[in-house]
Amino acid sequence: MDSQIRKIHHQLVNKEITCTDLVQERLDALKQNTNNTVNSLLDTSALDLAAKVDAKIANGDSIGLLEGIPFGIKDVYMVQGTYTTASSDLLKNYKSAYTATAIQKLLDAGAIPLIKENCDSFGHGSSSENTIFGAVKNAVNSNLVAGGSSGGSAVNVAKDYTVFSVGGDTGGSVRQPAGYNNVYGLKPTYGRISRFGLMAYASSTDCVGPIAKSIEDIRIVLNVMSGKDGKDQTTYASAEIPQDGILTSEDIKTVGYFKNFIETDAIDSQIKSDFLAAIEKIKAKGIQVKALDFFESETLVSTYYTLAMAETASNLSRLDGTNYGNRIEGDNLKDTYAVTRSENFSEETKRRIVGGNQLLSQGFSDEIYLKGLKLRDQISENFENDFKEVDIIISPVTPNTPPKIGESLKDPLAMYLSDAYTVGFSLGQLPTLTVPKGTATGLQISAAKNNDELVLKFANFLKDTI
């Protein structure tokens, strides 16, 4: 699909549509939608902003490319004055006091936020069922899960309720729902986009990620949100990716894939055969394809969840109902903390907090947490060596197609294992894009750190190849 942002921009500039009608139409669609994508609508502010864009156009002023473009925000981003619930009981009445850097950059470019989007509570989940707003339903088949944790964001884009949405990806939370709903979803290199104002899940892999229907829209939004930010000292300065810079892919000579992802009984047979067929098409274009060795899926999933649980236990320890949150009074202060947290966190969130505190406690930290860190180093080293051999690594997004709603929460271990193909790239902090091509849940394209441009180049190549 072509760029929706450019198409709407031209329609606005040529006065084929008004921004107010555009925003009203999308708000109406969101209000009526039965996929449970909405946590809160920002209708008043969106219509006010749309009227300003219309006034500018009527006045003959020029507008920027993102000016007047309606977008969605996963409900884990601070936007001043809006409810930011993380889909949790604890924060269901919490209002952001400030705005996240990534979102502020989009607001400064004139994009119009319509909605805070449903997601797994605090990013804890792979199905967008762990939420107080009702399970998000898949855009293609409403009996299936939307994926997660940015499920509402992916469905809104797939259904054209938003032109693009901003999700958050810690272990696959943008890429997996993008794959489940047939849209593009990018996890940029860690640090390319500021995390300031993104509610922290696991800080060492948390990434801000755009979801859209075209590679060009991903590029536009990525460029606007990227950059060094004094409020997140893990950010780095990156060059803008030019539009014509990603149209040719002559510099991509070698592509690798992890053979153990494919040579396993855990993968759906159709996804496997479709993936291998995609590899053949890439080979037919004269690109060399190498089968690479990698860590077992169980090791990847366990390493990721071990570190993510340790980090989320620390990050969520501040949520005790003292300075904000749905405080429930107990017999004394300690009891107040415990009752507030016990009653307001979901079962999945509690499972992760408890797991994190368990592995960080004395007697466990050496044999689990520190060993997890060592494994992560080895995984990163493995990637570094791989990218000396290949330019791009391609893989399926998920081993299986989306499960039915209600199945994932019954079996947490199965849910964790369904992240087998996404978590490794998170641990490596690599730029990784889901493209809705190749298999039923898409393909993942990864490149070496800071090489987001190459990922988009290869996505364009695949668009014409598969």
Partner 1 sequence: MTVDILSSIKGAQPSEAVNKLFEVIKNANTTNNNTFNNNHDHAVSLDYLRDDVVINSPQIEKQIIIENFPKEKNGFLVVSKVIEE
Instruction: By CB under 8 A, name the binding residues for partner 1.
Output: 80-81, 94-98, 191, 204, 230, 233-234, 298-299, 301-303, 305-306, 309, 313, 317, 320-327, 333-334, 337-339, 341-342, 345, 350-355, 357-359, 361, 364, 367-368, 370-378, 380-381, 411-413, 416
Assess whether 173 carries a catalytic annotation: yes
Q: How far is 143 from 128, CA to CA, in rounded Å?
A: 13
- Options 3, 127, 149, 418, the catalytic residue: 149
Q: Of 121, 126, 173, 418, which residue is the catalytic one?
A: 173
- Judged by beta carbon, residue 189 or residue 439, the one nearer partner 1 is 189
Longest pairwise C-alpha distance within the chain: 71
Q: Which is nearer to partner 1, 1 or 338 (CB)?
A: 338
Rounded CA-CA distance 363/383 in Å is 31
Report, in Å, the least distance between residue 322 CB and partner 1: 5
Instruction: State in angstroms the smallest separation of the CB of 316 from partner 1.
Output: 9
CB 301, min distance to partner 1, A? 7
Phi-psi region of 118 (alpha: psi -120 to 50; beta: other; left: phi over 0): beta
Least distance to partner 1, CB of residue 418, Å = 13
Q: Is position 371 annotated as part of the catalytic site?
A: no
Of 3, 74, 116, 238, the active-site residue reads 74
Task: Report in angstroms how near the CB of residue 36 gets to partner 1 at its nearest.
Answer: 26
Q: For residue 17, count CB atoms less than 10 angstroms from its CB and return exposed for 0-12, middle for 13-18, buried for 19 or more.
A: middle
Burial (Cβ within 10 Å: 0-12, 13-18, ≥19) of residue 380 = middle
Residue of 240, 199, 221 lying closest to 113 (CA atoms)? 221
Q: Is 108 exposed, middle or buried (0-12, 13-18, 19+ CB in 10 A)?
A: exposed
Write out the two tokens for 329: 């009074």
Cβ 144 to partner 1 shortest distance, Å: 22
DSSP codes joined into one string, 395-406: EES-SSPPPBTT
Question: Between residues 174 and 301, which has the closer beta carbon with respect to partner 1?
Answer: 301
Cα–Cα dist 426/316, whole Å = 20
In this structure, the number of other CB atoms found within 10 A of the CB of residue 373 comes to 15
Q: Which of 138, 146, 128, 22 is nearest to 75 (CA)?
A: 128
253 is catalytic: no
Helix (H/G/I), strand (E/B), else coil: 151: helix
Within 92-214, residue ranges assigned H as helices are 101-108, 151-158, 175-180
The residues annotated with a catalytic role in the active site are 74, 149, 173
